Structure 1
Amino acid sequence: MTKLGERIRQLREENNFLQKHIAAQLDVDTPMLSKIERGERRAKKEQVLVLASILNVPQADLLTLWLADQVYEIVKDEDVALKAIQVAEDEVKFKQKKK
């Protein structure tokens, strides 16, 4: 299961929303939403933005989990994963300072 999928399921259940209602608002079928919640399929960024609105949470919260899941998927089997993430973090910090 992905961090995003876990959070979506948690928020959906807290709000007593059925998968079929959320799926309809995302314009996907219920099995697709179920796969996103279980981490078997990745949500698209646009879907994450819609989910944030439906579930009444800040977009940044779900986007952070969405992006973290993608980064993890890329580096999970790499011996130098942490070092690569640190280099990327330094680059992001540098670019943000330039803004």
Structure 2
Amino acid sequence: MNYLGARLRELRESRGLLLRQVAAAMEVDTALVSKLERGERKANRDQVNRLSSILKVPEKELLLLWLADKIADDISHEPLAMEAMRYVEQRLKETSND
């Protein structure tokens, strides 16, 4: 999946930023930012944090998409994916009530 990459491109373009400007602010090469946007590379948590600052969006917004990509990539081809997601959701609700 590429929820994060699509949002990164949308945010960058809406702010009138070039790939090279975002890359310079992150202190990485332009190719990396391009690959993140296209979903050819996965960002790490630190990169997501830096991108939220550069693009001036709440960190939570990008972290949510980052986690969604990780989960979807891991389970999207599993026949029981949705059932497993419901199971995990229920368990998380139970543990947050403790």
Confirm or deny a common fold (TM above 0.5).
yes
* Number of residue pairs aligned between Structure 1 and Structure 2: 98
Shift of 1:10: 0.3
Q: CA RMSD in A?
A: 1.0
Q: Percent identity?
A: 43
Stretches of structure 2 lacking an aligned partner (at least 5 in a row): none
Runs of 4+ with >6 A deviation: none
- State the TM-score, normalized to the length of structure 2: 0.95
Distance in 1 separating the partners of 2:20 and 2:95: 41
Corresponding residue for residue 12 of structure 1: 12
Distance in 2 separating the partners of 1:76 and 1:5: 17
Matched position secondary structure for 1:67: helix
Stretches of structure 1 lacking an aligned partner (at least 5 in a row): none
Shift of 1:25: 1.7
Moved more, 77-86 or 88-97: 88-97
Distance in 2 separating the partners of 1:95 and 1:59: 24
Matched position secondary structure for 1:7: helix
What amino acid does structure 1 have at the position aligned with 2:80?
V
Shift of 1:90: 1.2
Distance in 1 separating the partners of 2:83 and 2:50: 33
